[in-house]
A and B are shown apart, each in its own frame.
Chain A
């Protein structure tokens, strides 16, 4: 399905260089009074690469900046620093229609991602028409094929979103994303709003589409099980930075960053038992710091079981592990034996700061 005009590049299909996205919060005065910064640094210096045909997952919890980064990559949110390149070409701040087309998104909430006033058919036809994806007369047939591709029948064309269930809406959303024949599909938590049994159908669909259409997939998710099922490569984000990235095998098999390890340890598993888990403390203690008060040095140190003195002053950069090409970690102690106890002690609750942190929206958009 690759477009005839898609360049066969040798480099990565999509890459980001030192991306930063900031949100101003309140006024300068208020910021000073409450002892936090004015700029909420949702994404704070991210480099990443996505190769053609790859499936990369951006993993993180709320406040990690993963959704904001995805929106920035898709051109739906302007970046405050850095640049996004597509097929070797730097994309301008205001993307052209042709550029926007290349990267399409599927959103998390199936109930707000479809215009309630438009039938599925009108919505698809509009996109096809505006971009001249197929010659005018073939539009209807094209839309019909799209629906079949995602497993919906033809009566869906005349239906309104309210007539569909959550899972079906996501199918419609996927059909819409595919309508413009994008090179990259960005899926922002595509199944987290769905029931478990329905999630499976959508996950299978995404997987099948990848195979059939050769899609490049960027998946945003907090659910590592979903990530494991769909993706080859994973990047873990914390407070606006990528802290570890590598292949799925590397990350799940040999996680090096304490946050990644904590994340993996925190996931409840079917093989768990109530008695077994009650031993020991939680995998990651405390609450994440506010994105308006990012800790100096390594931003994870306030919750890290192995934090040392140097973590407070030196901000670790992503380094590739020796003998593990493609596996990069931003920790002073990655790939070395980790020290026994952190200088801060085993359980460091976050936010022991003297002031009460005012609750601020992690991301004014409401996205993580």
Chain B
């Protein structure tokens, strides 16, 4: 049992070159994931959460580069590694599942072969041994009738089944950590429920860590132990899932919670977050959220706002985080 975190991202910077200028997609992000832990990474489109995942596993778009920071997987820094070296790590140590299983699976290759491919390439399994392992994995992820389904093609599967196939592929070489990029966003609610339970169970049974990216707060609540909230390429809050979601310490997190309709309580009016996401080419000075923040004060526009640790294992980037608790109390919202 290792004592330190499996994955430690320190001060990661990702820059993307576009016609409009240099986009600071990920700006000074630091995360730790312990063995067997599920870390949620929450944000809306443009927050940089997907880019962070892609940077970790090394599949940034052509125009993107890591310009700073370290990514320590089991103590080894991934940033300076070449693609060839990264290829040896992808699969056995770290793998990824995506949002759209149809485009992540090869449409002209049988599903069983796709699951078996990893073990053959990385672990040197023979064809039959890899096939056996594939069948075992298919059973593990809950694909019925695996012998039959082994020879099927992705288009013969439903969305939920394809996602299970993708999970099986991700598990095939027993990685230490699986990166999940909105894997259930495109699925129906009942299927999402199945997949989330599956991931939860796998996480607990085999001790694999997860980083789960999503924009859906309740999903994070269901599957993650800790959560980090991103906005404008930066981390704005981090901590235990129940703490952050039920007692947010950053106005953006508070905004997310208040603006989402709740199936359990009907609120009179949802409180949207005014304004629109910041330009990442020339972001606002100081706190990037200040133009949209109801609690903004003068110092918010000037000072940079890195994450600061708070008691209780939490962190926030907000200089005036106490306002959040006050606002919640005023709302009268208490989630039990």
Contact = CB atoms under 8 A, between A and B. Distances in A.
Q: Do chains A and B touch in the complex (CB under 8 A)?
A: yes
Interface of A: 61-62, 165, 195-201, 203-204, 207, 222-226, 228-229, 252, 262-274, 277-278, 281-285, 287-288, 349, 351-352, 356-359
16 contacts: A61-B190, A196-B44, A203-B270, A225-B262, A226-B261, A228-B266, A262-B190, A267-B189, A268-B192, A270-B217, A270-B246, A270-B335, A271-B336, A272-B222, A273-B242, A278-B197
A277 B194 contact: no
Contacts of B328: none
- Pick the 5 closest A-B CB pairs, nearest first: A200-B272, A266-B193, A200-B259, A61-B188, A200-B270
B201 interface: yes
B270 A204 contact: yes
B79 to A, nearest CB: 30
Given A196-B260, A356-B156, A277 B200 contact: yes
Given A228-B261, A264-B263, A270-B257, A204 B219 contact: no
B144 A282 contact: no
B145 to A, nearest CB: 7
Contact of B272 (A62, A198, A228, A287): A198
Interface stretch (B48-56, B117-125, B157-165): B157-165
A351 B266 CA distance: 38
Contacts of A201: 272
B155 A359 contact: yes
A366 to B, nearest CB: 13
A150 B329 CA distance: 31
B189 A266 contact: yes
B86 interface: no
A283 B44 contact: no
Contact of B261 (A62, A225, A358): A225
A267 B218 contact: yes
B78 interface: no
Contact of B193 (A165, A203, A273, A283): A283
Interface string B25-63: 000000000000010000011000000000000000000
B269 interface: yes
Given A61-B189, A268-B196, A287-B191, A356 B152 contact: yes
Contacts of B201: 278
Contacts of A349: 144
Contacts of A284: 190, 193-194
Contacts of B323: none
B115 to A, nearest CB: 17
A204 B194 contact: no
A258 to B, nearest CB: 12
A276 to B, nearest CB: 9
A233 B95 CA distance: 44
Given A61-B190, A197-B273, A270 B204 contact: no
Contacts of B196: 268, 277
A165 B275 CA distance: 11
B197 A281 contact: yes
B20 interface: no
Interface string B132-169: 00000000000011001100100111111100000000
B86 to A, nearest CB: 30
Contacts of B174: none
Given A281-B197, A359-B156, A268 B221 contact: yes
Contacts, number: 155
A282 B190 contact: yes
Interface of B: 38, 44-45, 144-145, 148-149, 152, 155-161, 188-194, 196-197, 200-201, 204, 215-219, 221-225, 241-242, 245-246, 255-257, 259-264, 266-267, 269-273, 276, 335-336
Given A195-B45, A278-B200, A282-B193, A359 B158 contact: yes
A284 B191 CA distance: 8
Given A195-B215, A268-B216, A200 B225 contact: no
Nearest to B270: A200
Given A228-B263, A287-B161, A270 B245 contact: yes
Nearest to A166: B45
Given A271-B335, A287-B158, A357-B156, A352 B188 contact: no
B144 to A, nearest CB: 5
A273 B221 contact: yes
Nearest to B277: A195
Nearest to A226: B261
Given A196-B216, A277-B223, 18 more contacts: A61-B188, A195-B44, A199-B270, A204-B272, A225-B262, A228-B261, A229-B270, A267-B189, A269-B262, A271-B335, A273-B242, A274-B200, A278-B200, A278-B204, A282-B193, A283-B190, A284-B190, A357-B156
Nearest to A303: B190
Nearest to A353: B145
A39 to B, nearest CB: 20
A283 B215 CA distance: 23
A272 B227 CA distance: 14
A278 B197 CA distance: 6
Contacts of B224: 274
A208 to B, nearest CB: 9
B237 to A, nearest CB: 15
Contacts of B263: 224-225, 228, 252, 264, 267, 269
Nearest to B218: A268
A356 to B, nearest CB: 6
Of A224, A252, A268, A285, the most chain B CB neighbours within 10 A belong to A268
Contact of A268 (B219, B271, B276, B335): B219
Contact of A197 (B157, B189, B204, B272): B272
A229 B219 contact: no
A268 B259 CA distance: 16
Contacts of B257: 270
A281 B194 CA distance: 8
A106 B73 CA distance: 48
Nearest to B267: A229
Contact of A287 (B160, B217, B267): B160
Of A197, A267, A281, A284, the most chain B CB neighbours within 10 A belong to A197
A201 B335 CA distance: 23
